[in-house]
């Protein structure tokens, strides 16, 4: 799994007043980081509080996503037995390798990295910690949940709005398919709220730290996991419609079938998706 960040030798700058190739490359990297919505954590107190949530020990493996300048990495190195850092930026990856020679730096896109290949320590835990770029937070979270059987616990910094959606209970406008599909497999809670001033550059929005403990199995018994996912996504795709209308449109079945199935499941077909619990979605999916 160990990968050493590759470095390119910069070309010598000429005698003209134009910027050097190195500075141009750094400008491209900075633009890439801005495009991803990446803001570097600079508050040491916040970094300690984040790592405290999972309390890594010498027996644990930690995969860090988006280490950036190493604010969390330094805390993890002091406590965890093994640290694997996923960093998409070549320059940052090289600096991390030089600063923390004991860790494994993998130059990779965290949205598509094979988390399922994580080898859980025999006597320890597999943990994921990260300050996720805002623009790709949701796809990274989806990849982690898909690989949940290889992970014990996660602590993720996200845009506050996204974190609130993941941890939301039924009944509110923030409760949606992201809430249901995350909470089906994990205990989720917002552990910390982090102000913009804790980052460089400061983001325009607030951040929150989401603490996820992976369950040993789905929270409720499912007859067909793929069907459950399809029903949940269809129900929330048109959340302003009644459950019956949203499911009929999303699943391509008749209103009569949806209404009959919902009634059999003990769910009023006139309700809206945000009012259903995970158990009610499971009962509904079982009968559709």
Stated pTM of the model: 0.85
Does 3.40.50.2300 match the CATH number of domain 225-287? no
Distance, in Å, from the CA atom of 177 to the CA atom of 168, rounded to the nearest integer, reads: 10
Of all residues in the chain, the percent with pLDDT exceeding 70 is 87
Distance, in Å, from the CA atom of 26 to the CA atom of 261, rounded to the nearest integer, reads: 58
Q: Compute the chain's Rg from CA coordinates.
A: 22
Longest Cα–Cα distance of the chain, Å, equals 80
What is the SS3 assignment for 5? coil
Residue 4, pLDDT above cutoff 70: no
Residue 5 — pLDDT band, cuts 50, 70, 90? very low
- Per-chain mean pLDDT for the chain: 89
The DSSP annotation for 156-211 comes to EEEEHHHHHHHHPPTTSTT-SHHHHHHHTTEEEEEEEEE-GGGEESPPSS-EEEEE
- Residue extent(s) of CATH 3.40.50.150 domains in the chain: 40-214
Domain 40-214 fold is: Rossmann fold (3.40.50)
CA atoms within 13 A on the CB side of 91: 14
> How does pLDDT run across 10-53, given as a tens digit for each residue?
333 333 344 444 444 444 444 444 445 578 999 999 999 999 99
Q: Phi, psi at residue 216, to the nearest 5°?
A: -70, -20
> How does pLDDT run across 171-225, given as a tens digit for each residue?
999 999 999 999 999 999 999 999 999 999 999 999 999 999 999 999 999 999 9
The pLDDT value recorded for residue 18 is 47
> How does pLDDT run across 90-139, given as a tens digit for each residue?
999 999 999 999 999 999 999 999 999 998 999 999 999 999 988 999 99
Among 116, 120, 118, residue whose Cα is nearest residue 147: 116
- Residue extent(s) of CATH 1.10.8.100 domains in the chain: 225-287
């Amino acid at each position: 799994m160990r990968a050493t960040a590759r470095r390119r030798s910069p070309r010598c700058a000429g005698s003209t007043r134009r910027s050097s190739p190195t500075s141009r490359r750094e400008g491209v990297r900075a633009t890439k980081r801005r495009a991803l919505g990446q803001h570097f954590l600079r508050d040491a107190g916040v970094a300690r509080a984040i790592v405290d949530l999972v309390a890594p020990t010498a027996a644990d493996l930690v995969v860090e996503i988006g280490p950036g300048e190493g604010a969390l990495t330094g805390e993890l190195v002091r406590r965890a037995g093994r640290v694997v850092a996923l960093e998409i930026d070549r320059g940052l990856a090289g600096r991390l390798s030089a600063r923390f020679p004991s860790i494994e730096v993998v130059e990779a896109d965290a949205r598509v990295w094979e988390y399922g290949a994580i080898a859980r320590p025999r006597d320890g835990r597999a943990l994921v910690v990260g300050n996720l770029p805002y623009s790709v937070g949701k796809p990274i979270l989806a990849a982690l949940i898909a690989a949940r059987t290889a992970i014990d616990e996660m602590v993720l910094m996200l845009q506050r709005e996204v974190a609130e959606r993941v941890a939301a209970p039924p009944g509110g406008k923030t409760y949606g398919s992201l809430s249901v599909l995350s909470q089906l497999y994990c205990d989720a809670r917002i552990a910390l709220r982090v102000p913009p001033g804790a980052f460089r550059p400061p983001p325009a929005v607030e951040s929150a730290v989401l603490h996820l403990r992976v369950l040993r199995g789905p929270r409720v018994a499912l007859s067909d996991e793929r069907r459950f996912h399809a029903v949940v996504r269809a129900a929330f795709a048109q959340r302003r419609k009644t459950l019956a209308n949203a499911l009929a449109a999303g699943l391509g079945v008749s209103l009569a079938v949806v209404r009959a199935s919902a009634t059999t499941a003990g769910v009023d077909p006139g309700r809206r998706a945000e009012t259903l619990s995970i158990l009610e979605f499971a009962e509904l999916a079982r009968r559709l």
